[in-house]
Copies of this chain bind each other. A is one copy, B any other.
Amino acid sequence: MPTEKFSMYSYLLDRTARRVKQYAQRRFNQENLDVTVDQWLILKNLNKGVDLSQSELAELTGKDHPTLTRIIDLLCKKGLTERRVHPGDRRSFTVHLTEAGEQSVVVWSPKVAEIRMKAWENLTEEDYELLKKILNKIYSNLDL
């Protein structure tokens, strides 16, 4: 006997995720951090000194390939990343953080972390852990 409450939970989840992203984006804009929240996620994942292929980046960031291609296009246009030919596979690129990209990550990481904190105010460590557990459970329930 299906219950409608699960539709309600789905709605709450969607609405909350949107607001979290919207809040962060507005703060990015206020601070004149000239990237989107999704672009930032890519930069952050590149900042390990390791160049990654687009496929690897897509996997890490949970983006599909067309979306990732377009995000990289924009980051390259902004001069924050560049595509380099993959040694040994001409189908592939490695995405490389430029000097400017590196600088952005270094300079902005603390501010971004601070912005991201806001959503989780008034929650306990236990809440974080439980939320993480529940979200991962949901995610794996829908394994595609």
**Chain A residues within 8 Å of B, Cβ to Cβ:** 2-7, 9-24, 41, 44, 62, 109-114, 116-123, 127-128, 130-132, 134-139, 141-142, 144
Set of chain B residues within 8 Å of A121, measured between Cβ atoms: 141
Tell me the dominant secondary structure on chain A's binding face: helix
Query: A113 with B3: in contact, given A62-B18, A118-B142 (CB under 8 Å)?
Result: yes
**A128, B9: Cβ atoms under 8 Å?**
yes
Measured CB to CB, the closest approach of chain B to A17, in angstroms, equals 4
A12 to B135, CA, bound (A): 7
Chain B residue with Cβ nearest A115: B2
Set of chain B residues within 8 Å of A24, measured between Cβ atoms: 10
Measured CB to CB, the closest approach of chain B to A140, in angstroms, equals 9
Query: A17 with B19: in contact, given A6-B119, A6-B120, A113-B7 (CB under 8 Å)?
Result: no
Set of chain B residues within 8 Å of A13, measured between Cβ atoms: 13, 16-17, 20, 135
Set of chain B residues within 8 Å of A17, measured between Cβ atoms: 13-14, 16-18
